[in-house]
């Protein structure tokens, strides 16, 4: 599934990086510890978090993730949005909790790297 399809099915809003929406999502990861994400998430993955700092975008770019989902209706920092937009890293926003978001992604067939 592409990031665009996931966003459409789950009613997520793309707040930045729309140019990257057609990328295929290969796996999923959820964590709010950026050091943990850096160590364990995989390229092409979709990352669910409630961190909104611009380091989120840097980590997503570093790992070449497909997209980041900001859960719980939190607003991402403006500088982070600007960076994601400039780099084409899709940032999806949802009011759903991280738990609910991950559950829905799993239902859609997204899996973690075990």
Partner 1 sequence: MVQGFAADLHIHTFLSPCAGREMNPKAIVGRCLDLGLDIIASADHNSAANVEALAAAAEGTGLTVICGMEVCTKEEVHLLTLLPDLSAMHEWELIVAPHRATGRNIPEIFGRQWICSPRTGDITEETALLSAPTTLSVDEVVDGVDALGGISVPCHIDRRAFSIVAQLGFVPDHLDIPVLEISRTITATEARAKFPATQGRVLLSSSDAHTLEEIGLGCSLFWLEEPTFAELILALRGEAGRYVQVE
Cβ 104 to partner 1 shortest distance, Å: 25
Cβ 31 to partner 1 shortest distance, Å: 11
Cβ 30 to partner 1 shortest distance, Å: 16
State the residues that interact with partner 1 by CB under 8 A: 32-38, 51, 53-55, 58-59, 77, 79
Which residue lies nearer to partner 1 by CB, 78 or 107? 78
Strand, coil or helix: what is 106? helix
Q: Give φ, ψ of 95 to 5 degrees.
A: -80, -15
β-bridge mates for residue 86, sequence order: none
Which residue lies nearer to partner 1 by CB, 34 or 65? 34
Could you give the count of Cα atoms lying within 13 Å of 98 in the half-sphere of its Cβ? 14
Q: Please report which helix (H) or strand (E) contains residue 9, including its range.
A: helix 3-10
Which residue lies nearer to partner 1 by CB, 14 or 52? 52
Cβ 112 to partner 1 shortest distance, Å: 19
Which residue lies nearer to partner 1 by CB, 15 or 21? 15
- Which residues, other chains included, contact 70 with Cβ-Cβ below 8 Å and sequence gap of 6+? 15, 49, 50, 52, 76, 91, 92, 93, 94
């Amino acid at each position: 599934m592409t990031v665009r399809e996931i966003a459409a099915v789950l009613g997520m809003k793309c707040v930045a990086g729309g140019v990257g929406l057609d990328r295929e999502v290969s796996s999923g990861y959820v964590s709010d510890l950026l050091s943990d994400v850096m160590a364990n998430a995989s390229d092409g993955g979709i990352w669910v978090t409630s961190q909104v700092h611009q380091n989120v975008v840097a980590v997503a770019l570093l790992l070449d993730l497909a997209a980041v989902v900001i859960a719980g209706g939190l607003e991402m920092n403006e500088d982070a949005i600007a960076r994601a937009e400039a780099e084409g890293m899709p940032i999806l926003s949802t009011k759903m909790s991280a738990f609910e978001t991950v559950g829905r992604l799993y239902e859609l067939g997204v899996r973690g790297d075990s």
